[in-house]
Structure 1
Amino acid sequence: MLVIRPIRESDFDALMLCAEESGIGFTSLPVNEELIRGRIDHSVESFARNATSPGTEGYLMVAEDTETGEIAGTTGIEAAIGLENPFYSYHISKVVHHSRRLNVHNVVEVLTFGNNYTGATEICTLFLRPEFRGGLNGRLLSKCRFLMLAQFPDKFSDIIFAEMRGVSDEDGNSPFWAWLKEHFFSIEFTLADYLTGIGQKGFIADLMPKLPIYVNLLSEEAREVIGQVHEKTRPALRLLEKEGFSRRGYVDIFDAGPTVECMRQNIDSIRRSFTARVKIAEHGSAQDYLICNNDFQSFRATATKIGVDVERNEALISQEVADALLVSEGDTVRVVAL
């Protein structure tokens, strides 16, 4: 059984392994020991802070195999981005060029540089190691964050968004970045991506074009990947779209991968989730559910088969599941059907 829990300092080696296996383009997990330790320390401090409103907190969690103790992957939430370090994105919009005298009417797309997601909550750092992919594990790692958002809404913004990894090849070459590099930068995509991951974003403000970029002036290769996702990211995008996330015209400034967003109360798993009392009992008609406890600092979540007694408002779970969630009979849990 995989159980989601807050990351600990002792998980450093496991998180480094996730960073190495995630590959180029996974900005939130660069292979940098100092940064990885910093993210762990920040998460530990954030959980201990027990904030009552969204701020600079970053909550990083891991999926632990209860039988072996092995870490299967990681997932995270940034409570409010852009408050300390700027968060940049491009917004795709249209400009009309019209001349009545010449009878010319052209509608062109432009990319406008900005910080429009400042203060929003970002779901991020989702990575499941290859050997654990299958069954309910992927949905657990992604959807556990929605149970946290539902159970502790005061800690997060009303707007929830996620950046999707854009198109790049096996060597980390991005067609979109290739055009930017040629005209405005002199560094490779992998270095730019890495510098952003370790928090050194000053070069973006220094070198990124401040005026809108006309899309029709980009190379054909760059235009084709705007708003497209990396092939390994497509399952994650489909899952978020089923939850109600949609595109609002924002893309990443490096690889032009799309950003998707949803109002917190409109996320499907949040709308369908409910709280129930724990009843430790056998259940003959169990179904797949995502379930979490109501202790933020000792947050636990798992995906398993449980029974639900609607009339008594009870979640019928095994002792094994109760132990994994750190709950006892009579405690309150939040559940949502998978």
Structure 2
Amino acid sequence: MLQIRFARTTDRDAILDLLQEHAIDQSGWRLPVTWWLEQLRGPWAAPADPTALPPDEATLFVVSSGGGIVAVGTFTPAFGTRKAYPVWRLGRTVHASEDLGILHAVQTLQLGHDVHGMSALEILAALPDLAVGTAPAALLESALRHLRAEAKPPATGQVFVRLRGVHAADGSSAFWQTLGRPFCPPALSGLDASGLDQPHWKAGVAELLPRLPVYAAFLPQRAQSEIGQADQALAGFQQGLVRLGLRESGLVDLIDAGPVHVARWHELAV
């Protein structure tokens, strides 16, 4: 049986081992282990009052089974309230001409801050047997039930989970290479988080990207096909999210266009 609790100082080594060996890249962009090492270096412990967690700060929680830690994640009570967190919002524009007999819908992407103030759940690492079959659903259900009971978020408030998008074998994302890299300086041109040592760096990247709607039709076919698609390795997690009531929201990750699933807390089947 899975047991969930907020992390303690004594969990440091076990957490780092999981992050180094079994990170599952659910979040769309994994912060380097050096960042986590820095976070775990100073004094920290499980919150005395989970209902008073800092709104826009990620709090670590661990999942244990049989006495050992088998997964680690983060929970943020009100995401993006200190530093705006950008996502792409999917839409459609219709081009029509009655004379030509044309009625054509084109997908668009526009930067927005639709997850502002929502709770955020991320599973950062898990043992391999928790990432396949029905295990991801059980893991997510246990985590959401614990967080709802301990942190007591508003029942009508929303929680979101973002999934890593499609990446090639070399780790590259056609979506990022087309709609991210050309607008960024060389230091940010690759899918490499080294040197980006704070969790809100995507807000800085967003400031360099187009502000007006982008026509997906202008992107290469491979990049278009990646929009809203999760990495195949996370199929179990995506199925688990849907089973628990988190639906695809029409929002995708800024970097690799991975899907963002959203639900109100009272809608969850946990």
With normalisation by structure 1, the TM-score equals 0.68
Amino acid at match of 1:265: H
Cross-structure match for 1:263: 264
Q: Helix, strand or coil for the counterpart of 1:201?
A: helix
Q: CA deviation at 1:43?
A: 7.2
Question: What pairs with 1:52-201 in structure 2 (closer than 5 Å)?
Answer: 55-67=55-67, 70-100=68-98, 103-130=101-128, 138-152=136-150, 154-155=152-153, 158-181=157-180, 183-185=182-184, 186=186, 187-191=188-192, 195=196, 198-201=199-202
Distance 1:106 1:192, change over 3 A: farther
Cross-structure match for 1:7: 7
Q: CA deviation at 1:54?
A: 7.8
Instruction: Assess if the C-alpha contact under 8 Å between 1:19 and 1:31 holds in 2.
Output: no
With normalisation by structure 2, the TM-score equals 0.83
Question: What pairs with 1:43-58 in structure 2 (closer than 5 Å)?
Answer: 44=45, 47-51=47-51, 55-58=55-58
Q: More strand per residue: 1 or 2?
A: 1
Instruction: Assess if the C-alpha contact under 8 Å between 1:92 and 1:111 holds in 2.
Output: yes
1:224-244 Cα shifts (integer Å, max 9, x gaps): 111111011110010110111
Cα distance in 2 for residues equivalent to 1:112 and 1:155: 29
Cα distance in 1 for residues equivalent to 2:50 and 2:243: 31
Cα distance in 2 for residues equivalent to 1:143 and 1:5: 14
Q: CA RMSD in A?
A: 3.1
Instruction: Assess if the C-alpha contact under 8 Å between 2:129 and 2:135 holds in 1.
Output: no
Q: CA deviation at 1:257?
A: 0.7
1:203-247 Cα shifts (integer Å, max 9, x gaps): 313311111110100010100111111011110010110111111
1:154-195 Cα shifts (integer Å, max 9, x gaps): 435611111011101232111111212453234444225973
Cross-structure match for 1:205: 206
Cα distance in 1 for residues equivalent to 2:123 and 2:159: 14
Question: What pairs with 1:287-306 in structure 2 (closer than 5 Å)?
Answer: none
Q: Helix, strand or coil for the counterpart of 1:195?
A: coil
Q: Helix, strand or coil for the counterpart of 2:236?
A: helix
Q: CA deviation at 1:100?
A: 4.4
> Structure 1 stretches of 5 or more lacking a match?
270-338
Moved more, 103-112 or 29-38: 29-38
Q: CA deviation at 1:42?
A: 9.5
Instruction: Assess if the C-alpha contact under 8 Å between 2:26 and 2:122 holds in 1.
Output: no
> Structure 2 stretches of 5 or more lacking a match?
none
Amino acid at match of 1:255: D
Q: CA deviation at 1:256?
A: 0.7
Q: CA deviation at 1:53?
A: 8.2
Distance 1:188 1:195, change over 3 A: same
Cross-structure match for 1:284: none
Question: What pairs with 1:228-247 in structure 2 (closer than 5 Å)?
Answer: 228-247=229-248
Cα distance in 2 for residues equivalent to 1:242 and 1:248: 15
Distance 1:88 1:194, change over 3 A: farther
Number of equivalences:
266
Question: What pairs with 1:305-316 in structure 2 (closer than 5 Å)?
Answer: none
Instruction: Assess if the C-alpha contact under 8 Å between 2:166 and 2:258 holds in 1.
Output: yes
Cα distance in 2 for residues equivalent to 1:219 and 1:242: 33
Cα distance in 1 for residues equivalent to 2:43 and 2:255: 26
Q: Identity over aligned residues, as a percent?
A: 24
Amino acid at match of 2:209: M
Amino acid at match of 1:33: T
Cα distance in 1 for residues equivalent to 2:148 and 2:169: 37
